[in-house]
C-alpha cells in the first residue's frame, strides 16, 4: 500500500470525517484488492456540507502535506507528501431536482488549438529528453500565447469543465472494507457505483482509460450542469 494512502485513511478515520474512497482508488481496491499500479493519485470523495475546505487544509498541512495547484476549480483540493501518491479530495454537491451528486473535476481544452496552447503554457515545467527545444518554443511563443489564452478564456472558448456524477442514492450508506489491516470507508453499493462510473466492463483493467472521455459518469459544461 502507498504510504500516503495508509496515512490519509487512518487520519480521516481518527478524525471521524465522512469520506469515501472513490473513482480509480475504489476501482483498484474492489477489483484487485490493491491500488492500481499505474494510477498516480488517491481519490477521496467528500460531501461539501460535511467539512469546510479550510478545515481540511489545516488538517493536511498540520500533518506535513503540501497543498498543490493542479489547475482544478473549486471542487477539488490536492496534496503531496514525500514519495507517496498525490492525494485528491473531490467535493460533491447535490444537483437540484435530480438524483445526482456531482463534483467538478477539471478543465479540459475545448479543441485541438486550445490543447496545443495549454501544452505550450506548461513547457517550462517539462523535463523530457527534448527539454531545451521545448523551453525555447515556450519562451518564444509565451507572449502571444498568453494574450490568445486570455481572450479565449474571457469568451468561454478555452476550457470545457468536466464533472463526475454519481446517483445520490448510491452515496447514502457506507461500510468499512478491511484490506491489508486498514479499514477503508466505501459506499455500501460499491459495485453499482463502479458500474455507473466505469461502465459494465469495469472489471477489465484498461491502462489507456481517460476519465473525462471514457467514463459514462462524466458530464461536460454544455450539459445539464450549465
Q: Is residue 216 part of a domain?
A: no
Number of domains comprising the chain: 2
Show the domain range for 196.
3-93+169-211
**Residues 108-165: tens digit of each pLDDT:** 545 554 455 555 555 555 455 555 665 666 566 565 656 655 665 555 555 566 778 8
* Percent of residues, the chain, with pLDDT higher than 70: 68
Closest CA to 142 of 125, 114, 115, 123: 123
The verdict on 17 and 59 lying in the same domain is yes
Q: With beta carbons less than 8 A apart as the criterion, state whether 44 and 88 touch.
A: yes
Q: With beta carbons less than 8 A apart as the criterion, state whether 194 and 187 touch.
A: no
The verdict on 48 and 11 lying in the same domain is yes
pTM: 0.74
Q: What is the pLDDT, as a whole number, of residue 126?
A: 47
First-to-last alpha carbon distance for the chain, in angstroms, is 39
Q: Which residues contact 113 (CB under 8 A, 6 or more apart)?
A: none
Q: Is residue 106 part of a domain?
A: no
The verdict on 86 and 183 lying in the same domain is yes
Closest CA to 24 of 213, 210, 161: 210
Q: Is residue 29 part of a domain?
A: yes
Rounded to whole angstroms, the Cα distance separating 121 from 68 reads: 18
Q: Is residue 136 part of a domain?
A: yes
Sign for the CA dihedral angle at 149, 124, 24, 49 comes to negative
C-alpha cell at 70: 493542479
The verdict on 134 and 176 lying in the same domain is no
The verdict on 69 and 116 lying in the same domain is no
**Residues 82-119: tens digit of each pLDDT:** 999 999 999 998 877 778 888 876 555 455 544 555 55
Q: Which residues contact 201 (CB under 8 A, 6 or more apart)?
A: none
Q: What is the pLDDT, as a whole number, of residue 76?
A: 83
Tell me phi and psi for residue 73, to 5 degrees.
-100, -155
Amino acid at each position: 500500500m502507498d504510504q500516503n494512502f495508509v496515512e490519509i485513511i487512518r487520519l480521516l478515520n481518527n478524525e471521524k470525517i465522512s469520506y469515501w474512497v472513490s473513482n480509480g482508488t475504489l476501482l483498484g481496491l474492489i477489483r484487485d484488492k490493491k491500488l492500481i499500479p499505474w494510477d498516480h493519485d488517491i481519490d477521496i470523495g467528500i460531501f461539501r456540507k460535511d467539512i469546510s475546505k479550510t478545515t481540511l487544509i489545516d488538517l493536511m498541512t498540520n500533518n506535513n502535506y503540501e497543498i498543490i495547484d493542479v489547475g482544478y476549480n473549486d471542487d477539488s483540493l490536492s496534496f503531496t507528501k514525500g514519495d507517496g501518491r498525490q492525494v485528491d479530495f473531490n467535493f460533491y454537491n447535490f444537483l437540484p431536482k435530480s438524483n445526482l451528486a456531482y463534483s467538478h473535476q477539471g478543465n479540459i481544452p475545448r479543441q485541438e488549438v486550445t490543447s496545443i496552447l495549454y501544452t505550450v503554457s506548461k513547457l517550462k515545467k517539462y523535463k523530457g529528453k527534448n527539454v531545451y527545444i521545448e523551453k525555447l518554443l515556450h519562451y518564444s511563443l509565451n507572449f502571444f500565447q498568453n494574450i490568445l489564452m486570455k481572450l479565449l478564456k474571457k469568451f468561454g472558448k478555452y476550457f470545457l469543465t468536466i464533472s463526475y456524477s454519481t446517483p445520490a442514492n448510491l452515496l447514502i450508506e457506507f461500510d468499512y472494507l478491511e484490506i491489508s489491516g486498514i479499514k477503508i470507508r466505501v459506499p455500501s453499493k460499491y459495485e453499482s457505483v463502479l458500474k455507473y462510473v466505469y461502465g459494465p466492463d469495469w472489471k477489465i483493467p484498461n491502462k489507456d482509460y481517460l476519465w473525462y472521455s471514457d467514463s459514462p459518469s462524466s458530464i461536460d459544461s454544455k450539459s445539464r450542469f450549465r
